[in-house]
Homo-oligomer: A and B are copies of this chain.
């Protein structure tokens, strides 16, 4: 579909944003071709607009020349959603990175898409507030990327995802038209909810140029607990028990036995004997009530199979309790640099069945699977460890992965809790979504992006592939 980028197109791009804001040399373009999925495709040009007007001009030009365009924050996504169409345009939001307003009385903050999550948190914290979404990459990832993926993190269990914490947007559709969605109030029901239609749409409907974010007051106090269990069944029962009582934790993180085995030998981990699963639990709220809240959660977490439950008394102890969890990612990277990392989610009550089912799949396919994640949302990071140089093991891992997804869907779950679809999970989307929902989604995309230039081929299988996949079923 791409018409290919020629001199005339580049000159026109420079006319819109200035020559200094266009890069077309292959060496300059290369670094804008990857994301954290380790996929890569070289764009034909990278453009750095500084305003919504310039974004609109760039999109209009791409529409006219039928050149695919992908908006890009910092490339921390894990699904290939920000990897460009080969030879297409990358629109980097680096020069649209300002915090435009913080309004504590109205509990909102207005940011450009290139501002990092950390910059948003810092600006909000100066007024005693925070923005709930807290992906692991918060120090680097951008608001635009967070919104495109509906990214979240541990805090979502109490405070929700981007969807629950975005009041309104400004955006440019695939014809280069700018528009405004949503409101500056926490209630508003005039017209369709285009704000949430754009959140999570992975840049396929419009380029976000400004976001009005809902702020939440910073809690006065936090308490951190670590609960160790004999086995994952006990830990999963504890999660359900915690979620069925009134004190909702602000983090409820899970590690299975394989994850514990990976970090057990690290000196900082300090894990008791017989640790088959572990929960990290945090509660926050008014300083006065924090002990009672911690006790309520500790009681709920004290199910049969509990080996050890500790509460950190100071910052040093908080760090010590988190040590095992924090050691996990480096340990995983060390033993399996190219692990397959999925982020499925199931209803909390189905966690025991999920973990048990994953164990059975691991045995059957002879693949080591390490599970950890945000248990309060039932959002588990399933890591299939396979050596990419071992073709047989990789084939087993891929076969296993397909069965992991089937298991998740049998348990009323979803293929992605927070990473999104991009290219990685696109072939599996048809297993989760109704064919008619996919058809409606294509139809909606065609209204926002009639020339199909906005991040084509991401999220949904192209209509023709989808139809032929259906006919094969």
Contacts and interface: CB of A to CB of B under 8 A. Distances in A.
Interface of A: 103-108, 127-128, 149-150, 152, 156-157, 160-161, 163-164, 173, 177-181, 183-194, 196-197, 199-201, 205, 217-220, 240, 243-248, 285-286, 288-289, 292-293, 296, 345-349, 374, 377-379, 412-421, 425, 429, 432-434, 436-438, 440-441, 443-444, 447-448, 459-460
Nearest to A425: B190
Contacts of A459: 191
B437 A187 contact: no
B285 A187 contact: no
Given A183-B414, A196-B196, A245-B217, A189 B420 contact: yes
Contacts of A190: 414-416, 420-421, 425, 429, 432-433
14 contacts: A105-B244, A105-B348, A128-B245, A152-B187, A156-B186, A178-B436, A189-B419, A190-B415, A193-B199, A193-B200, A217-B247, A218-B246, A285-B285, A286-B292
Nearest to A156: B187
A444 B444 contact: yes
B460 A191 contact: yes
B191 A193 contact: no
Contact of A105 (B107, B179, B192, B349): B349
Nearest to A413: B185
Task: Report, nearest first, the 3 A-B pairs whose CB atoms are least far apart.
Answer: A289-B289, A217-B246, A443-B447
Nearest to A220: B246
Contact of A292 (B187, B194, B288): B288
B177 A414 contact: no
Q: What's the dominant secondary structure at chain A's contact region? A: loop
Contacts of A186: 156-157, 160, 377-378
Contacts of A185: 345-347, 377-379, 413-414, 417
A411 B358 CA distance: 54
Contact of A447 (B245, B285, B413, B444): B444
Contacts of A149: 189
Contacts of A245: 128, 217
Nearest to A248: B217
B347 A106 contact: yes
Given A128-B244, A217-B245, A296-B286, A437 B194 contact: yes
Contacts of A349: 103, 105-106
Contacts of A412: 184
Tell me which of A161, A187, A296 has the highest count of chain B C-beta atoms within 10 A of its own C-beta. Answer: A187
Contacts of A286: 246-247, 289, 292-293, 296
Nearest to A206: B440
A240 B105 contact: yes
A350 to B, nearest CB: 8
A395 B286 CA distance: 52
Given A160-B164, A191-B441, A193-B196, 15 more contacts: A103-B349, A177-B436, A178-B436, A185-B413, A188-B416, A189-B200, A189-B418, A190-B414, A190-B421, A190-B432, A217-B247, A217-B248, A219-B246, A289-B292, A443-B447
Contacts of A421: 189-191
Contacts of A417: 185, 187-189
Contact of A184 (B177, B289, B347): B347
Contact of A179 (B173, B179, B434): B434
A276 to B, nearest CB: 21
Contacts of A194: 437, 440-441
Contacts of A150: 189, 193
A110 to B, nearest CB: 11
Contacts of A246: 128, 217-220, 286
Nearest to A296: B286
A66 to B, nearest CB: 20
A445 B245 CA distance: 41
Nearest to A180: B434
B429 A191 contact: yes
Given A187-B417, A196-B193, A348-B106, A173 B440 contact: yes
Tell me which of A173, A219, A285 has the highest count of chain B C-beta atoms within 10 A of its own C-beta. Answer: A285
Contacts of A296: 286
A103 B443 CA distance: 34
